[in-house]
Amino acid sequence: MNKKFVYFALTLILFCVSIKESKSGIIPQSNVFTFLKRDTAAKMLVANAVFNNADSVMGAMTFEEQDYSGITYVYGSFSKGYEDCYKVVLKDNGVTVIDLTKDLNITVTTGGATNPFWATIDFNLRKFLSYDKRKRQSGGQTADILNGRQTVSSAPITALPS
């Protein structure tokens, strides 16, 4: 019983001393938990494309790039209207920039819905979504669902505020 009390008292004293030292400035407050701080220079870019055409394809895709790396994470799902023969492409002012169909490996379930999908692609999202006035005036960037060469559905890609 005596040993338990001594250990408890020593633990309590150690705890009180560590709090006092950290408050008195001996241990710098800013460097105590440096491993928990986020790097403020690293910015994440998130953009989405929402397909909400009730007559054809309904669903959403999200694009994410971290740390100016040029690697983009794409994920999403479709709830209605997607077929196996469709292709998913990103366009800039009507010109196809990248075909995502093989990378996404979309599996269709009943009624044109899909299982959730995701992929990591070597694509610079920041460069693609650059804020050039000419691009904004002439249609900008879109995610398109194609059947052959015909566009089935199209959704503008909008960057979300960080």
**Tens of pLDDT, residues 108-145:** 998 889 999 999 999 988 888 875 545 444 457 888 88
Regarding whether 12 and 49 lie in a shared domain, the answer is no
pLDDT tens-place string over residues 9-29: 777 676 666 665 555 555 555
Tokens 């692609």 correspond to: 121
Regarding whether 85 and 11 lie in a shared domain, the answer is no
* Contacts (Cβ under 8 Å, ≥6 apart) of 25: none
The residue segments making up the domain with residue 58 are 44-160
User: Does the reported pTM lie above 0.85?
Assistant: no
Total domains in the fold of the chain:
2
